[in-house]
Structure 1
């Protein structure tokens, strides 16, 4: 079961990067983010409180996932779009467990709490092909 998902939240821990061998082909790369999707509502005194927020693992499967692990950081505000899927497994005691995770198509960085952005120049061979 899966359904379309779009939500804003904060990355709650350092990104987790993994590679999975794929025979003679390039390995599959996964970047997992732990994101708290919040629901800010006004409290009446000019502040906001969270009502009904939840944590969900966000999986980004992409060949550039290794590079992106340094881009995404704990505390960063992101907009996630993708599919929400149910993940089932057995815990160490043999009990059936389930959770929901997001298989992301896009993870955009929102300009909240960002102090600086550094852009790198294109490699010389890429500039020649333009």
Structure 2
């Protein structure tokens, strides 16, 4: 069971990178973020968080190792993906159910950023004229 998800929140811990062998193919790469999705409600004194929650966010991509250094604890992100029911057993063999988010996109929002540095643009080959 899965449902489309879009949410804004803060990364709560250092991102976790994992790599899984895939036979002779390129290994599968996972970047896992622990994100607090808040629900800020305006009050006369500013905002109050009502009903926020923590959720693991999984981003499967070949660039996941590179992105591990990009995403940082405390960073504000916008996550788009799907929620997935995750069933597992704890150490006492009790069945547990949690929900995680399999992200398609994780965008960085410009809150609490001091600077943004862009990589130099890659020089491309000039296009060959069609004959």
TM-score, with length taken from structure 2: 0.93
Contiguous gaps of at least 5 residues in structure 2: none
Contiguous gaps of at least 5 residues in structure 1: none
**In structure 1, what is the equivalent of residue 21 of structure 2?**
21
Runs of 4+ in 1 over 6 A off after TM superposition: none
For 1:58-97, what aligned pairs fall within 5 Å after superposition? 58-97=57-96
What RMSD over aligned residues (CA atoms) do the two structures have, in Å? 1.2
For 1:5-20, what aligned pairs fall within 5 Å after superposition? 5-20=5-20
Larger radius of gyration: 2
* 1:120 to 2:119 alignment: yes
For 1:45-56, what aligned pairs fall within 5 Å after superposition? 45=45, 47-56=46-55
Deviation of residue 120 (structure 1)? 1.2
